[in-house]
C-alpha cells in the first residue's frame, strides 16, 4: 500500500489576485493531453475574461508505415483541428523559441501535458506566469516519462495526479501546486483505462488551478511521498520471464506494456534443410488464471514455461500460478487464436519437444 500523504502546510488559501487574461501555450501529444486540452478549451469558452487565447504546440506530422507513405497526426493535433484550436509545430527547443520571434509576449502561461520534451527555460521565463505541468502520479513518486506503466508493473493499489510548476532544467522537479486524492488501481485496469481515469482527474485539477489563479505566487505543497523514478521502459521489459515472474506479475506486464513476448524452440526447414531455432512468440489478451476448479487439469504443467490448450486460451505455468493467453502470434505468422497456434506448433515441434516456452 502507498503511504498516505501527510500535509505539512495549513489550509490552502487560494489567491484571487487579478491577472492579465491568459494567453496559454499548451504543449501536448497523446490522449492524456487531450483530456486536459478539451476541458481547458471549455473553460476558455465559458470564461473569455480569464483565458483569452489557447494555442496548441505539438510535434510535426511524421510519415509512418510501409514506405513511409502514411501521415499520422498526434491525438492532440487531431482534437485541436476538429475543435478549431490553433496549432503550432515544434520538434526542438529552437522550434519552440521561434514561436516568440514575432512577439515576446505572445504567451504568458505555458502548460505542458505529456509533451515528452523539456520546455526551454528561456521560453518559460518569457511567460509572465511561468509554466504548469500535469503529471500522472503523486509526485515526487514516479517522476519520469512512464509513471502509469510503473504503477501497474509494481502492482500498486492506488496512484494520482499532480499539477506542478515547470522546472527550467529538469523534468518533474517543479513545485507542487495541487495534487489529487488517491485514485484506485483496480485488477481490471490496464494502461489505457488508467490513463483515461488519470487524464480526467488531471484535467479537473488543472482547470481548478487556472480558475483560482493558484499559479500566482505559489506556495509549494509538501507531502510524505519519497522520490522514485519512472524512466523510459526498455522493450526487454515486455518479456514474460516464466522462471522469475508470478502469473500476477506477467499479467501486470501485459496491462502496463501491451503484448508480452516469450521464446519457443522449434524445427523449421530452410532450403530443404532441417533447422532448429528459437523463435519469438507474442502473447495478447493475457489474464491470470484464478479458477480453482480447473486445477486438476493442470497437473501436466510441471515446469515454469510449460503450456497447453485450455478452453479458448493457451494456459502457461509461471513461477507461481498460471496465465491464459487467448491471442498468440508466432514470429513468422499473423496474430491468431490459441487453437491456431497449437496447430502450427504441432507442425514445427519435434516428437520429443516438450510444450515449453524458454526464457
Q: How far does CA 193 lie from the centroid of its chain?
A: 10
Q: Distance between CA 249 and CA 320 in Å, rounded?
A: 10
Beta pairing partners, 340: none
In this prediction the pTM is 0.90
Model pLDDT, residue 270:
81
On the CB side of 86, CA atoms within 13 Å amount to 9
| DSSP letter string, 46-91 | H-TTTEEEEEEEEPPPEEESGGG-EEE--HHHHHHHHTT-EEEE-S
Model pLDDT, residue 7:
38
Q: Which of 116, 124, 106, 129 shows the shortest CA–CA distance to 209?
A: 129
Report, as ranges of residue numbers, the positions in the chain whose pLDDT lies below 70. 1-17, 64-69, 104, 292-296, 350-352
Assign 254 to helix, strand or coil: helix
Model pLDDT, residue 10:
32
Contacts of 21 (CB under 8 A, 6+ apart): 48, 49, 50, 51, 52, 53
- The answer to whether residues 300 and 314 touch, using CB atoms and an 8 Å cutoff, is no
Domains 22-211 and 235-358 alike in fold:
no
- The answer to whether residues 54 and 88 touch, using CB atoms and an 8 Å cutoff, is no
What is the tens place of the pLDDT at every residue in 80-119? 999 999 999 999 999 999 988 777 689 999 999 999 999 9
Model pLDDT, residue 297:
81
What would the grid cell of residue 330 be? 508466432
Model pLDDT, residue 101:
79
Domain boundaries, the chain: 22-211, 235-358
Model pLDDT, residue 4:
44
Query: What fold characterizes domain 235-358?
Result: 3.10.25
22-211 CATH: 3.40.50.170
Model pLDDT, residue 269:
81
- DSSP H helical segments within the chain, as ranges? 31-46, 75-82, 93-98, 121-126, 147-153, 191-211, 247-257, 338-348
Model pLDDT, residue 64:
66
Model pLDDT, residue 53:
96
Model pLDDT, residue 1:
43
Amino acid at each position: 500500500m502507498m503511504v498516505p500523504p501527510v500535509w505539512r502546510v495549513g489550509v490552502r488559501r487560494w489567491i484571487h489576485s487579478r491577472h492579465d487574461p491568459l494567453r496559454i501555450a499548451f504543449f501536448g501529444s497523446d490522449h492524456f493531453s487531450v483530456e486536459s486540452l478539451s476541458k481547458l478549451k471549455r473553460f476558455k469558452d465559458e470564461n473569455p475574461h480569464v483565458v483569452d487565447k489557447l494555442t496548441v504546440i505539438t510535434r510535426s506530422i511524421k510519415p509512418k508505415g510501409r514506405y513511409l507513405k502514411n501521415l499520422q497526426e498526434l491525438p492532440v493535433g487531431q482534437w485541436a483541428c476538429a475543435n478549431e484550436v490553433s496549432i503550432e509545430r515544434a520538434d526542438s527547443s529552437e522550434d519552440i523559441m521561434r514561436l516568440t520571434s514575432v512577439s515576446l509576449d505572445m504567451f504568458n502561461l505555458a502548460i505542458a501535458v505529456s509533451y515528452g520534451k523539456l520546455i526551454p527555460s528561456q521560453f518559460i521565463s518569457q511567460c509572465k506566469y511561468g509554466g504548469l505541468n500535469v503529471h500522472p502520479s503523486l509526485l515526487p513518486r514516479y517522476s519520469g516519462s512512464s509513471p502509469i506503466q510503473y504503477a501497474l508493473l509494481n502492482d500498486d493499489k492506488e496512484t494520482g495526479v499532480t499539477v506542478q510548476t515547470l522546472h527550467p532544467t529538469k523534468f518533474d522537479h517543479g513545485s507542487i501546486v495541487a495534487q489529487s486524492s488517491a485514485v484506485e488501481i483496480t485488477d481490471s485496469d490496464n494502461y489505457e483505462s488508467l490513463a483515461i481515469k488519470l487524464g480526467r482527474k488531471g484535467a479537473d485539477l488543472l482547470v481548478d488551478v487556472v480558475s483560482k489563479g493558484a499559479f500566482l505566487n505559489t506556495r509549494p505543497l509538501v507531502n510524505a511521498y519519497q522520490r522514485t523514478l519512472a524512466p523510459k521502459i526498455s522493450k526487454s521489459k515486455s518479456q514474460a520471464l516464466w522462471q522469475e515472474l508470478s502469473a500476477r506479475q506477467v499479467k501486470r506486464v501485459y496491462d502496463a506494456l501491451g503484448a508480452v513476448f516469450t521464446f519457443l524452440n522449434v524445427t523449421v526447414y530452410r532450403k530443404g534443410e532441417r533447422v532448429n531455432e528459437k523463435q519469438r512468440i507474442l502473447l495478447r489478451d493475457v489474464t491470470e488464471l484464478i479458477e480453482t476448479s480447473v486445477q486438476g487439469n493442470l497437473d501436466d504443467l510441471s515446469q515454469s514455461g510449460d503450456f497447453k490448450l485450455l478452453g479458448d486460451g493457451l494456459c502457461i505455468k509461471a513461477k507461481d500460478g498460471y496465465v491464459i493467453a487467448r491471442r498468440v502470434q508466432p514470429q513468422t505468422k499473423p496474430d491468431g487464436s490459441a487453437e491456431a497456434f497449437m496447430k502450427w506448433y504441432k507442425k514445427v515441434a519435434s516428437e520429443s519437444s516438450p510444450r515449453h516456452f524458454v526464457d
